[in-house]
Structure 1
Amino acid sequence: MKLKVLFSLVYVLTFSMLVHAQELYTPRHIKQAYQNETRSLTGAPGAKYWQNKGRYDMQITVDPVTKVVSGKERILYENNSPNRLNELVISFVNNVHKPTAARALGVSADFITSGLKLRSLKVNDKIYEIDSQDWTTVNRVKLKEDISSLAVATVEMDWEYPLSLASDREGQIDSGTYYCAYAYPRIAVYDDYNGWDMLEHNGRQEFYHDFNDYQVDIRVPKNYVVWGTGKLLNPEEVLQTEVLGRFNKSLISDEVIPVATLHDMQEQKVTKQQEWNTWSFNAGHITDFCFALSNHYVWDASSVQLATKRVSVQAAYLSGTKDFEQYVGWERYCIDWFSKNWPGVEYPFPTMTAVQGFADMEYPMMVNDSSVPDNFMDARQTVDHEIAHTYFPFYMGTNETRYAFMDEGWATAFELLIGMDENGEEAAKKLFKEFRVEGWIKEPSTEQDQPLISLSSQLSGKGYGNNAYIKSALSYLALKDYLGDVPFKKALHHYMDNWHGKHPMPWDYFYSFNAGTGLNLNWFWKNWYFSNHYIDLKLAKVEQKNKTITLEIENIGGFAIPFDVILTYVDGKKEKIHFTPQIWEKNEASTVLKLKSKAQVKEVFLDNDIFMDYTSDDNRMIL
């Protein structure tokens, strides 16, 4: 009898949650995913959730003389969808360098290349005559024979393309250093709510890839060291004995070890001296593979022991670069801190390598960072932010192209949280406000107030950047303040447990947190994600009678933010009273507070802290 009652209660609670979940605006194609049971209104993957996967075996050659990257690849592509595929979509991001590419940003002449030359393509041993001259960053290939549901197709390609001489996310860093990202044609994502991902890459938005397995051999001339995603499988075949010993020592040491010094590189004492060396890497169930190579960068390495494994930590940089001399230590600290604190999930991969470049950009198990040698706090913030992306979008395979706030916002929030530990709360918040928040909140133009749920691919300029980074980070930090650290972390882990290694979309995040907290948070999602709000509180009225002080606060901007009421007494002493975003749950427009004061109050001030106010002048009242 008691068991039946329990089942009835669970049913009622679940039904209630589903009814409330439906209150959020949901696009038609997302509703279809719920009807198809690939997604669920509890936030977890649906009973019929699926995602496709590729097993990539690639042999890539980089010729630093001709600046040409060439390769052969064999992909075992699993069609786990319920649909027959009568076409494949081949993505090659680096075609953004072609003269005819649609780009959101201006570029120099050195950025332009001729793009991909596809020399051959076979699908299940059938040859396709493809002229890739007119290919863009996404390209449809009509199949001669459909790929059945649950079938595995073999796709083989032979290709080459020139490296861009203007490095940003990828390309030539200097005359002997190259960052090879998005370095191979791949099968685009085919998912349960959009079908084929046909969005062109325009140089601004970021990426959306399947979770694939990679076995990659990279052939380069002697004296070039290669750093790549995943584990280096054959160090003994490419490194000379002394350097090999240092590298192997770094894999088990907490000490920062100079694996290859500038003298080593100049004296050709690092790599085996055969004409070409082949460096082999592998990485499993990851959304991308990239690599870098240099004939003169120095190489530092160490490792960090986590609860279940030791992670190799490396840095490659131009000798004498002061901030990069600190990078391995910073990376070690960062990986350990993220594992133990926020998000409090163990770093999921075996390696992390930072390469000095220009992009300030994340890749699976690698970052490409610019140097800030005269500001270590800024430099360290950069590596913190990029390594935070390990979790979003590489552990959680979010669609960065459409929903950039699902990764950039989390990385920006984690950047602040670790920064408070590294630099102290006051200094970290000051940097966060100056670097992140101030530019947005002081810019009143229409594009700053577009809803967070807006597709990133439809935004531009600061409207894109502020939605992706600042407003979203503040939404996560506001929710943390509202829930409290323990419930917030519990809900975050529930979301991450639901979706790591998969492809969550915003509604999966919303409903996972609803389920993980046991609360209907739809009021919060509507306030922060489906509105044109900004941040602007106004202290409209203050009345003091005896030891009761009544405050009327108007929420002009609309966002449900936390704030402190700071009372200054006539004797100069101050009292701070904190209010969480819950205060706006019933009425986001205004609130009336009745507070007990310890003495006569001479000034009331609303302090929004990092939630900077658009018109802060009306946050203070002198009595």
Structure 2
Amino acid sequence: MKKTLLACSMAFLTSGLLAQNTQNNPGSNHANKFEQLGGILPTPNEYRTASGAPGPKYWQQRADYDIKASLDEKALKLTGSETITYFNNSPDVLTYLWLQMDENEHSSTKNANYQSSNPLPRQTSAGMLQGMEDEKKDNGFGFNITRITDATGKTLRSVLNKTMMRVDLPAPLKPGQQFKLNIDWNYKITDRMAQGGRGGYEFFPEDKNYLFTMSQWYPRLAVYSDFQGWQHHQFTGRGEFALTFGNFKVAMTVPADHVVGSTGECQNYAQVLTPAQLARWTKAQTAKDVVEVVTLDEAKANEKEGTTASKTWVYTANNVRDFAWTSSRKFVWDAMPISVEGKKVMCMSFYGKEAYGLYRPYSTKAVAHTIKTYSNFTIPYPYPVAQSVEAANGMEYPMICFNYGRTEKDGTYSESTKYGMLGVIIHEVGHNFFPMIINSDERQWSWMDEGLNTFVEYLAEELWDNKFPTRRGPAFAITDYMKLPKDQLEPIMTNSENIIGFGPNAYAKPATGLNILRETIMGRELFDYSFKEYARRWAFKHPTPADLFRTLEDASAEDLDWFWRGWFYSTDVTDISLDSVRYAKADFNGTSPRFRDTTVMQPLAKPQVPTFDDISKVRNREDKNIRFQTDVDTSLRDFYWRYARGQEAYDSTRYPVAIPASLEPMDEATKAKFANKHFYELQFSNKGGLVMPLIIEWTFKDGSKEIDRIPAQVWRYNENKVTKSFMKDKEVASIKLDPMRETADINESNNSWGAATAEPSRFQVFKQKAGAVRGQSVGVNPMQKAQEKKGF
């Protein structure tokens, strides 16, 4: 359907009342949006205070692990034996323990069995049909438990319920006591590229080698907390983890030519590295730049060699909530130290030759930038190591994460691959803070993990390069999601398993909300202080949403209940309409190439820069205390850095593309109706239901501009309509609401007066090529063409 170009539209939206977003006066036009959250948030107690801080009797459990694991590469099998020491720091007597058995996700008989609607497709693959057949029988995957005993060797009774296992204690475990249990287990390792999931292997047919990412690989204690008891919701593959802090000692026996990266610090590099590699590792401890500990030549040589021998790598990690590792003979390994408040942190990367052209110049430096930036916005990074592993993946664990980003065979890569890689490294390394340190319950509230991390990722990306094409964080970027019909939306405060739009709801919308608080509602100074206070209070503890909400208010003296209620507990959206304006004149654009069918010649991709220079970028440029990482370290300026700034020639080769008409001209009657209207009084209506500040940009006839900022409380007496009168010294030519797109207004066509600024709606559909590797650079790209012209 064609869209009519109008200066101001009057579309009305309705929003339903959600049961969890209770209101005192639901039939009224006031006293709802600004009602306090007292009836929704949990009652403060001696464990969690009304200020959002841990209470005087706050407690949490602890679990220590001593694990021995053996990787059988030929049989694709992992065998393990672990001793767990569980400390009951709660005031409760426990008669059993619950353990997470996440590897059962891959089992056809022991998985969570959360099924979804699946109509018969019009076309499908033989593999999908085989999958339907395999559902009827045991596929052999998942944990095989061979022994569970106490410290004396006595067998303990256990009950497996899908992805959770209950171990019954021989005697009640009283407060202050500890219990030790031993578990022996094994499982078949899954092909992660074919079967999905976070852990498993990737096989490289070109050199017939494997890359193993070992995550959720051992039975581990579920969280027992003051606010929930046991968190033993089944693992479906989406809602991630609630885990208990403890100390780890892990010995991993792998093929002798493998290189291992892991949570924690290695205790026996002298035994597992060659003398040359050990010397490089020693050099890296004080290096000013990235040092290859295992070189590209060594990695390529390892790929060609085979061995039946094995080596055991021993790692320890203290005060962590989880443990993951990776193993492959394909790895290049590089490292570089940084200092965080006087403490050395080794930043490292592991990657195969397929990713060398991207990971060697960028990965470890991106790790370092992330650790430093997050430390500034939260707490100083407390661990000795931070690592990025290229595994065509995107998943995080303490001190180690798995990411994507590979070049084409000629070493070139697309701009989207580069920035996708940088974004995923920053995001996954950032998870060290949320939730690995500020340890929220991901199984219940994905947004406290993904949303908070995506927000700080946005801040880190903005400080990497002022032209970074950030996807999530700016308010204008969330509007396409918030425009969806109500039956496709759910409040942020929704359990992970029940969310339809998981990415927008758990990642983008919470991150956007925090950015709106920082830039538009609270201001940077108040927000940054309060956010750091939240991180400080809840580092190495288990926060809930109420603890975050209360802390940000407590540390800032800002009443934000209206914002939590609207942005987090409802599906209301921002759609503030400028309904009438006096003494202003409409400015109509008479023609548009979109009024008719046409054919255009389409070139290669233009430089990928943000479509809108958002307020964070503007303020960061103006802040003389901020130096962007691409200015600090000019080695980060690659082809696309220059391409975005016009320093690399743009390839103007074009191809014919048919573009159908998408607009039709405004009729003359409508033009005549609005052309000569002038206003001084402004009338607004709240069509989306979400109250927000009114940000009004005035453009005067002499060309000067002025901005008025009216706090959201202007809606408190009437949440649907507001009239504001302004006395101005100069005659107004045009008015625009939210000029910097700060409030996530989903309908900008009703935000302006004085100029026709409406844009056509967009609906994009992407077709994913079967078998494509996530993060793989494919196809023709500007960098490749530029090198061809230069004769490289």
- Coarse TM-score class (shorter-chain normalised): 0.7 to 0.9
8 Å CA contact retained: 1:91, 1:187:
yes
**1:25 lines up with 2:56 in the alignment:** no
1:246 aligned to 272, 280, 297, which one? 280
Aligned counterpart, 1:323: 358
Residue 442 of structure 1, CA deviation: 3.4
Aligned counterpart, 2:238: 204
What TM-score does the superposition give when structure 1 sets the normalisation length? 0.87
The 5 A counterparts of 1:137-536 are 137-167=163-193, 168-174=197-203, 175-268=209-302, 275-321=309-355, 322-325=357-360, 326-340=362-376, 342-343=377-378, 345-371=379-405, 373-374=413-414, 375=416, 376-424=418-466, 428=469, 437-448=478-489, 450-457=490-497, 459-462=498-501, 464-480=502-518, 481-536=520-575
SS in 2 for 1:208: coil
Output one character per residue of 1:63-96: Cα deviation in whole Å (capped at 9) or x when no partner: 1111111111111110111111111112111110
In structure 2, do the counterparts of structure 1 residues 128 and 436 end up closer, same or farther at CA, with 3 Å as the change threshold?
farther
Q: Which moved more, 1:44-53 or 1:96-105?
A: 96-105
Residue 568 of structure 1, CA deviation: 2.8
Aligned counterpart, 1:3: none
Residue 299 of structure 1, CA deviation: 1.3
1:57 aligned to 56, 61, 66, which one? 66
Aligned counterpart, 1:616: 748
SS in 2 for 1:599: coil
1:114 aligned to 133, 141, 146, which one? 141
- Counterparts of 2:179 and 2:156, CA distance in 1: 18
In structure 2, do the counterparts of structure 1 residues 485 and 285 end up closer, same or farther at CA, with 3 Å as the change threshold?
same
Larger Rg: 2
Residue 576 of structure 1, CA deviation: 4.1
Aligned counterpart, 2:647: none
Output one character per residue of 1:349-401: Cα deviation in whole Å (capped at 9) or x when no partner: 21111111233222111111121642222321221222222211111110011
Aligned partner letter, 1:469: Y
8 Å CA contact retained: 1:565, 1:578:
yes
Residue 415 of structure 1, CA deviation: 2.1
Identity %: 26
In structure 2, do the counterparts of structure 1 residues 259 and 591 end up closer, same or farther at CA, with 3 Å as the change threshold?
farther
Aligned counterpart, 2:733: 602
Aligned partner letter, 2:557: G
Aligned counterpart, 1:95: 104
SS in 2 for 1:55: strand
Q: Which moved more, 1:437-446 or 1:246-255?
A: 437-446
SS in 1 for 2:82: strand
The 5 A counterparts of 1:11-90 are 23-26=37-40, 30-31=42-43, 34-35=44-45, 37-90=46-99
Residue 267 of structure 1, CA deviation: 3.3
**1:557 lines up with 2:593 in the alignment:** no
The 5 A counterparts of 1:1-12 are none
- Counterparts of 2:556 and 2:249, CA distance in 1: 40
In structure 2, do the counterparts of structure 1 residues 549 and 247 end up closer, same or farther at CA, with 3 Å as the change threshold?
farther
- Counterparts of 1:363 and 1:420, CA distance in 2: 24
Output one character per residue of 1:127-180: Cα deviation in whole Å (capped at 9) or x when no partner: 336688x65211222223221221010111111111111244111122421000
Output one character per residue of 1:546-598: Cα deviation in whole Å (capped at 9) or x when no partner: 99943222232233445642323334444444455555566554444444545
Aligned partner letter, 1:567: W
Aligned counterpart, 2:655: none
- Counterparts of 2:528 and 2:717, CA distance in 1: 25
8 Å CA contact retained: 1:125, 1:154:
no
SS in 2 for 1:283: strand
Residue 324 of structure 1, CA deviation: 1.9
8 Å CA contact retained: 1:437, 1:610:
no
Unaligned runs of 5+ in 2: 1-33, 119-126, 204-208, 407-412, 586-677, 756-792
Residue 271 of structure 1, CA deviation: 12
SS in 1 for 2:60: coil
Aligned counterpart, 1:540: 579
8 Å CA contact retained: 2:454, 2:472:
no
8 Å CA contact retained: 2:295, 2:333:
yes
Output one character per residue of 1:280-327: Cα deviation in whole Å (capped at 9) or x when no partner: 111111111000011112112112122121111111112142332211
Q: Which moved more, 1:216-225 or 1:273-282?
A: 273-282
SS in 1 for 2:750: helix
SS in 2 for 1:390: coil
Task: Please identify which structure carries the higher strand content.
Answer: 1
SS in 1 for 2:435: helix
What TM-score does the superposition give when structure 2 sets the normalisation length? 0.70
8 Å CA contact retained: 1:90, 1:138:
yes
8 Å CA contact retained: 1:313, 1:328:
yes
Unaligned runs of 5+ in 1: 1-19
Give the aligned CA root-mean-square deviation in angstroms: 3.1
Query: Greater relative contact order (Cα 8 A, min sep 6): structure 1 or 2?
Result: 2
SS in 1 for 2:583: strand
- Counterparts of 2:190 and 2:750, CA distance in 1: 52
In structure 2, do the counterparts of structure 1 residues 165 and 270 end up closer, same or farther at CA, with 3 Å as the change threshold?
closer
Aligned partner letter, 2:143: L
In structure 2, do the counterparts of structure 1 residues 430 and 526 end up closer, same or farther at CA, with 3 Å as the change threshold?
closer
